[in-house]
Amino acid sequence: MNRPFSPPSIHKPRSIGLTLQALALAVISLVWMYPFLWLVSASLKDSLEIFVSGLDLIPADWQWNNYARAWNDAGFGRYMLNSIVITTGSVLIVVVRCALTGYVLARYNFIGKRVVVGIFLATIFIPAGYTIIAVMELSQELGLLNTHLGIILALSGGGHVAAVLLYTGYFSRIPRELEEAAVLDGASFFQVFRSIMLPLAGPVTATVSVLTFLSTWNAFFVPLVFTFSRPDLRTLAVGMLAFRGEHSTDWSGAAAAATLSLIPVVLLFMFLQRYFLEGIAGAVKS
């Protein structure tokens, strides 16, 4: 019996290509992850071994007490709490303020809108350090220096242009019929925003939350200036100075503290990464 003719397989070259791509991505991922792996490794070594071992990731003697020293002796337990309070407050303010701004820019036309948007975009090029004196003067007049609220307002009171543009792009894609139906039912501006628009913008809210969390969590200059006379209000980023002495630096303790400060960031992104990517894609498509 004659065997049926079968065309040459085209899957083998394709599978080889996919394998090569996977290997290339694995190598790139390893190169990208290596500094983080080295940081974790350094947090489990003593300061001398960090310089002697070079690029070796396996500690000769596991120093788990580095974490206890960072958490208790250097006060990173308190700094962690300060960072959580300040970051949470800043994220809430930025999300609400930027969502409202983006909603208005996406849905309403008013006289001078282009000028307002132009001035708003121009603030991107103003470094934060140039406004710190004015922020300090205003905070002092309001009695907000050396307080959590003062740091929160200073960090969340900027332009946050990227967040506004993300919301503007996302809201412009939502059909206007939803708002019109709500208005016909007697809903006010804030009711439409709170009950319809903001829930629909969940992905971009996750994106803005992650971006604001990262910038606030890693902020150094503003928390440093606001806590000169109140070391107990320092954040994790400012608290890293505790490991630097006049003549020496506790590198292993600093590595342990840096590793602890990365844990909330990694957990947040793991939980919100899907919404983060959806928010970026949704805003860019518009």
| Each residue's pLDDT expressed in tens, for the chain with a length of 286 residues | 555 555 555 555 667 878 888 888 888 988 888 888 888 888 888 888 888 877 788 888 888 888 888 888 778 889 999 999 999 999 999 999 999 988 988 888 888 888 888 887 777 777 767 778 888 888 888 888 888 999 999 998 877 888 888 898 888 888 888 888 888 888 888 888 888 888 888 888 888 988 899 899 989 888 988 888 888 889 988 888 877 766 677 888 888 888 888 888 888 878 777 766 665 655 555 5
Q: Taking a C-beta distance cutoff of 8 angstroms, is the pair 179, 231 a contact?
A: no
* Whether 209 and 263 share a structural domain: yes
* Whether 155 and 244 share a structural domain: yes
Task: Give the pLDDT confidence score for residue 94 in this predicted structure.
Answer: 94
CATH no. for residue 148? 1.10.3720.10
* Whether 23 and 106 share a structural domain: no
* Whether 167 and 33 share a structural domain: no
Structural domain containing residue 144: 74-285
Task: Give the pLDDT confidence score for residue 281 in this predicted structure.
Answer: 59
Task: Give the pLDDT confidence score for residue 279 in this predicted structure.
Answer: 58
62 is a domain residue = no
Q: How many CB atoms lie within 10 A of CB 33?
A: 10
167 is a domain residue = yes
* Whether 239 and 159 share a structural domain: yes
61 is a domain residue = no
* Whether 214 and 256 share a structural domain: yes
* Whether 81 and 34 share a structural domain: no
* Whether 242 and 165 share a structural domain: yes
What values do phi and psi take at 228, rounded to 5?
Answer: -55, -45
55 is a domain residue = no
* Whether 112 and 234 share a structural domain: yes
Token code pair at residue 75: 């006060």
229 is a domain residue = yes
* Whether 35 and 102 share a structural domain: no
What is the pTM for the complete model shown? 0.81
Task: Give the pLDDT confidence score for residue 88 in this predicted structure.
Answer: 94
67 is a domain residue = no
Task: Give the pLDDT confidence score for residue 246 in this predicted structure.
Answer: 63
* Whether 154 and 272 share a structural domain: yes
CA distance 159 to 45: 42
The residues that bridge with 249 in the sheet, in sequence order, are 244
* Whether 237 and 194 share a structural domain: yes
Q: Tell which residue, 212, 92, 108, has the closest CA to residue 163.
A: 212
Residue 249 DSSP code: B
58 is a domain residue = no
The number of domains in the chain is 2
